[in-house]
Amino acid sequence: MQNLDEHTITQEVLSRMTGTEDKRLHHVFSSLIQHLHDFAREVHLTEQEWEKGIEFLTSVGQTCSPVRQEFILLSDILGFSTLVTAQNHRKPQGCTEATVFGPFHVADAPAIEPWGNISPNMPGKPWFVSGTVRGLDGEVVPNAMLEVWQADEEGFYDVQKSDLEAAQGRGIIRADAQGYFNFQTIVPVAYPIPDDGPVGRVLRALDRHPWRPAHLHFMVHADGYQRLVTHIFKQGDEYLDSDAVFGVRSSLIEEWVMHDAGIAPDGSYSAQPFCTLNFDIVLNPSSAEVN
Ligand code: BEZ
Ligand code: FE
């Protein structure tokens, strides 16, 4: 078709894809084109704005590296990651809720023994984390594997530091046959998401802050149960209601309890005040439907 205009172009693009064999691809692309065209018509996108958009996306791509995923960050600050997470992880009441994955997970973290330390030799308040993994009916989930990762006392993940040789603030924990797990670390703090790139510029232009409330990341795997990717947040954190990436769920907020110096949960003597966190993780059976 020729002489396409702002009203006829959408239908013509859609009609060029009628032969697409992959039905899902056809569905996703048709909807994307329809919404993208509707968006341009609705805001009456100018050519300068179109150019700025192209420059922005180019810069997002150029900021990506093996240790920096600016596109995920963009998805996160637009609430898109939370939307996709929420609609793919609807769970029965009582299950631990999922939240955003974030860009700082690394595969092959070190294996940690019971009460082992995922942040050895790092400055910070000692933190003793423990809990149990259960199923929806209260049944013990034996031998779950928990990948945990967190920021340090200054709000940085190890992958953000160029001079580190070993993993810090991450580890793989095995729950025991009764579902019990524990480890030691330092208390993480609230931190700004990386805002020295194009995503940070957008946040500032929109008068938004880049902060995330303090949290600990978990990814839990257990045979017969759906994988769970989530965080535990700290009760009272000032950013709980304005998380830059919209990841907070009230069911994931726990009390991180401070204690004076004394006997710590692992039986050792802590000469400095320490913090404890105890919580249960409730997994959804694999057989449960995601709808
Ligand atoms: C994180 O919690 O690690 C994170 C999540 C989204 C964007 C940036 C960081
Ligand atoms: Fe994080």
Q: Structural domain boundaries of the chain?
A: 8-45, 75-282
* Long-range CB contacts (within 8 A, 24+) of 61-64: 63/197, 63/198
The minimum-distance atom of ligand 1 relative to the CA of 77 is 7
Fold of 75-282: Protocatechuate 3,4-Dioxygenase, subunit A (2.60.130)
Measure 191 CA to ligand 1 centroid, in angstroms. 9
Structure tokens at 91: 């769970």
Average per-residue pLDDT for the chain: 95
Percent of the chain with pLDDT over 90: 90
Ligand 1 site, residue 212, Cβ cutoff 6 A: yes
pLDDT tens string 210-246: 999 999 999 999 999 999 999 999 999 999 999 999 9
pLDDT tens column, 11-23: 999 999 999 999 9
Examine the pLDDT at 179 and tell me if it is beyond 60. yes
Closest listed ligand to the CA of 68: 1
Looking at per-residue pLDDT, the higher value among 222 and 89 belongs to 222
Question: Does 165 score more than 50 pLDDT?
Answer: yes
Measured CA distances, 242 to 187, 209, 210, 248 (Å):
21, 8, 9, 9
Q: Is 73 in the pocket of ligand 1 (CB under 6 A)?
A: yes
Q: Which atom, in ligand 1's list, is nearest to the CA of 217?
A: 2
- Convert the pLDDT of each residue in 97-123 to its tens digit: 999 999 899 888 999 999 999 999 899
Question: pLDDT grade, residue 291 (50/70/90)?
Answer: very low
Instruction: Kindly give the number of the ligand 1 atom that is closest to the alpha carbon of 102.
Output: 5
pLDDT higher than threshold 90 for residue 68? no
**Residue 145 pLDDT class (50, 70, 90 cuts):** very high
The dihedral region occupied by 53, where left means phi > 0, alpha psi between -120 and 50, and beta the remainder, is alpha
Q: What is the mean pLDDT of residues 161-172?
A: 87
Kindly give, in sequence order, each residue whose CB lies less than 8 Å from that of residue 52, ignoring residues fewer than 6 positions away. none
Residue 241 CA: distances (Å) to CA of 16, 77, 236, 245: 45, 14, 10, 11
Q: Pull the structure tokens for residue 70.
A: 């600016």
Nearest CA to ligand 1 atom 6: 102
